[in-house]
């Protein structure tokens, strides 16, 4: 069987020196391609954003990685989860053995996986030494209950932030072009909801959802825990100071690690895909600590967790997908990565009217 060779992608000049010139050049390229302007919808804006972040007319999202940050939560003692805390450690093992949903989806999207123990078990390092994709960074086996005191100390928060920053450094070393963040942590929807309520001045009833699937009584316990935490840790601090206060007071080690990952990605101009509700809570914290951090964030999906749409709206974020997911793990990231890869390839490989010898009906202004 004889097959036709794939056409050579059109030659693209080097990127202009300034951001303004690059934006004009990328926009011109999109509008010169063999399609009506804007007809590829969101894919066009995605390709343009990746090109701007990478500083090139030939963006690429081929080499991708998903980081799954894990941590336990002391607030589980209040009966806010349908599952016990030991499930977090068990699921870390499942990630490493390749049996979890994110493992299947990461293989499908051709993304590598890193599993980071941000706060599950300080003893886990000895258990999984054979896995070079496992990063034992836990200082403590879960946060403290935020109804009894602060969830973490300032020093613990710093270390968790650094665990996230480290993954951006490793991504740069490994030539990763697009990074994704997800999480695993029994009890973390309660911590994330408390963070979002505090930073958005929202009522628990509008943010707190069922998480792992708690019944009505469990949902009421979650809402009560968040409401009490908001009173217990009340502060008059604002903006970045308030974000740091609430991250330490009610956050999780994995949420802090994802926050650090976003902040470092912003410094590195590395495109970063944010998963569901928990990861979006980390993005909210990062946006208060460094507003420009949202420039690198692509929001994978709108989850089925009740408060997620409200938090996305507060961030001015438009999710790429809406599939009713509420798993976490970075599952939405893995599903969104092919869209970002497609957007970058279209920017690079699609012919222009000139190179294809196709008449451009959109070149001239229509008659008035």
Catalytic amino acids? 329
CA distance 259 to 69: 11
Q: What are phi and psi of 179, to 5 degrees?
A: -115, 145
DSSP 350: S
8 A C-beta contact, residue 167 and residue 66: no
3-state secondary structure of 12: coil
| Count of positions (residues) in the chain | 368
The DSSP result for 124-154, as a single string, is: HHHHTTT-TTEEE--SSSSPPPTTTS-SS-H
SS3 content of the chain, % helix, strand, coil (to 5): 50, 10, 40
3-state secondary structure of 309: helix
Strand partners, 67: 114, 181
284 CB burial (10 A radius; 0-12, 13-18, 19+): buried
Q: What are phi and psi of 119, to 5 degrees?
A: 180, 50
């Amino acid at each position: 069987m004889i097959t036709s060779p794939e056409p050579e992608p059109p030659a693209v000049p080097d990127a202009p020196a300034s951001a303004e010139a690059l934006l004009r050049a990328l926009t011109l390229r999109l509008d010169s391609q063999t399609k009506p302007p804007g007809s590829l919808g969101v894919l066009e804006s995605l390709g343009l954003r990746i090109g701007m972040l990478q500083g090139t007319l030939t963006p690429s999202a081929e080499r991708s990685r998903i980081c799954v940050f894990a941590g336990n939560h002391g607030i589980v003692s209040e009966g806010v989860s349908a599952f016990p805390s030991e499930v977090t450690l068990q699921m870390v093992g499942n990630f490493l053995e390749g049996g979890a949903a994110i493992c299947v989806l990461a293989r499908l999207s051709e993304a590598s996986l890193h599993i980071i123990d941000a706060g599950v078990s300080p003893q886990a390092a000895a258990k999984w030494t054979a896995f070079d994709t496992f990063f034992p960074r836990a200082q403590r086996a879960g946060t403290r209950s935020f109804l009894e005191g602060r969830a973490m100390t300032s020093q613990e928060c710093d270390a968790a932030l650094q665990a996230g920053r480290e993954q951006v450094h490793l991504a740069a070393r490994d030539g990763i072009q697009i990074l994704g963040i997800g999480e695993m942590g029994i009890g973390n929807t309660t911590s994330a909801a408390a963070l979002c309520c505090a930073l958005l001045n929202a009522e628990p009833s509008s943010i707190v959802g069922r998480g792992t699937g708690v019944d009505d009584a469990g949902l009421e316990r979650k809402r009560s825990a968040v409401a009490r935490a908001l009173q217990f840790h009340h502060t008059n601090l604002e903006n970045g100071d308030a974000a740091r206060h609430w991250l330490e007071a009610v956050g999780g080690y994995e949420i802090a690690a994802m926050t650090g990952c976003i902040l470092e990605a912003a410094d590195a101009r590395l495109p970063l895909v944010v998963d569901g509700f928990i990861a979006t809570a980390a993005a909210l914290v990062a946006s208060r600590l460094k507003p420009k951090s949202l420039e690198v964030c692509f929001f994978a999906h709108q989850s089925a967790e009740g408060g997620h749409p409200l938090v996305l709206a507060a961030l001015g974020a438009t999710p790429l997908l809406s599939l009713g997911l509420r798993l976490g793990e970075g599952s939405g990231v893995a599903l969104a990565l092919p869209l970002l890869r497609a957007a970058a390839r279209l920017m690079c490989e699609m012919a222009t009217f000139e190179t294809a010898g196709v008449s451009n009906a959109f070149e001239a202004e229509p008659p008035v």
